[in-house]
Amino acid sequence: MKALVTANFDDANLNRLQDDLGMVIDYRPIKERSERLSQSELEVLLEDVDVFVVGYEGVSAEVMDTAENLQVIACSRGGPEANVDIDAATDRGIPVLYAPERNAVSVADFTVGMILASTRNIARSHHLLHTQTYTGEPVADAAGGGEREDVTWGIAKGSPYAELAGPELEGKTLGIVGMGAIGQNVAQRADGFGVEMLGVDPFVDTEAMAEHGVTKVKLDELCERSDIVTVHCPVTEATRNLIGEAEFDLMPQNAYFVNIARGAIIEQDALVDALRNDQLAGAALDVYDREPLPDGHPLLELPNVVTTPHIAGAAHEVVNRHAAMLTDDIAALLAGREPEHVANEEALAGLTVGDET
């Protein structure tokens, strides 16, 4: 069998595909290219390919129709519908494997980092030092024979110590919008900070949230009571623009807002207005309604906003995890077993994967 792999993969799982499963591998990872492969490039590369392990290329019905030997699509993402036409694959009897929760740990870690970077002004302090706002003539410590008596930068009005003070997390209330795998991992980490936790998720019941130390509430109550609101739900018709002007108005004036999920879940202009009008103490964002952010975007001008370029899931372990999940499921299909993670189970009916199908 022949496999085209355009997703990033680790050596161990590439070797499993090749040595254990007997595949001939054409490995073209996105990390070694400047952009995604075009449809025309894919159509050429997929000739005679049985298994397509895709990262971010678009896999349309047209692409599938040109790949006459294609039997399996394995997508390294948690939501394969983002770039794979699931319905078209189902119509053609092609199962779509995927890797749910592959980055839940990395995104949860990143979320805690963003909360601390925002509330304790870590990112802002870094920026102010690197732009020479708080640099000057150094004074040696008295213990080392110098003249400095106490804190080099001072503690009076105008000093970093005074201007960049922020709240401790202990005793604060954290509101988690979306209590799936990422939200649960955030709750596990936040519990160590001694926060009270509230959660919103129509698909997770009260008892299940309680197991993670989270009290289930409605969105309005979460907004009203939370010192920090962090978003971890997928984009659906129900969640698009879920948090807008009304929700930001409900949040306390000293609250912080964190979005590591998708830009479409919030009304970004409403957030900018809330920050400009001092309705919120600050925000930390990894996702936006348009990406990349254009030059001169107002979010880049606001001093109380931490911005990162959609990297919450960019941990080294994520590649190992999705590669292992996909390889396990490809191996299951080849052995005639049902894969654990398949987006279109109906495509498995009567399926036999192998050289003779």
Which residues are catalytically annotated? 262, 291, 310
Calpha distance 84→348 (Å, rounded): 17
CB < 8 Å & 24+ apart, contacts of 146-154: none
Q: In degrees, to the nearest 5, what angle opens at C-alpha 174 toward C-alphas 169 and 176?
A: 145
Q: Categorise residue 340: left if φ over 0, alpha if ψ from -120 to 50, beta otherwise.
A: alpha
Local structure of 313: helix, strand or coil: coil
CB 10 within 8 A of CB 41: no
Q: Whole-angstrom distance between the N-terminal and C-terminal Cα of the chain?
A: 11
- Chain centre distance of CA 201: 18
- In angstroms, rounded to a whole number, what is the distance separating the alpha carbons of residues 283 and 299? 10
What is the rounded distance in angstroms from the CA atom of residue 97 to the CA atom of residue 54? 10
Distances (CA, A) of 99 to 135, 298, 300, 337: 47, 35, 33, 18
Q: Whole-angstrom Cα distance, residue 96 to residue 94?
A: 6
Q: Which residue has the tokens 């390294």?
A: 76
Q: Are strands 196-200 and 305-307 parallel, antiparallel or unpaired?
A: unpaired
Residue 234: is it exposed, middle or buried by C-beta count within 10 angstroms (0-12/13-18/19+)? middle
* Distance (Å) of CA 162 to CA 153, 158, 337: 10, 6, 63
CA 139/CA 143 separation, integer angstroms: 12
Tokens of 106: 């990395």
292 prior amide bond cis, ω within 30: yes
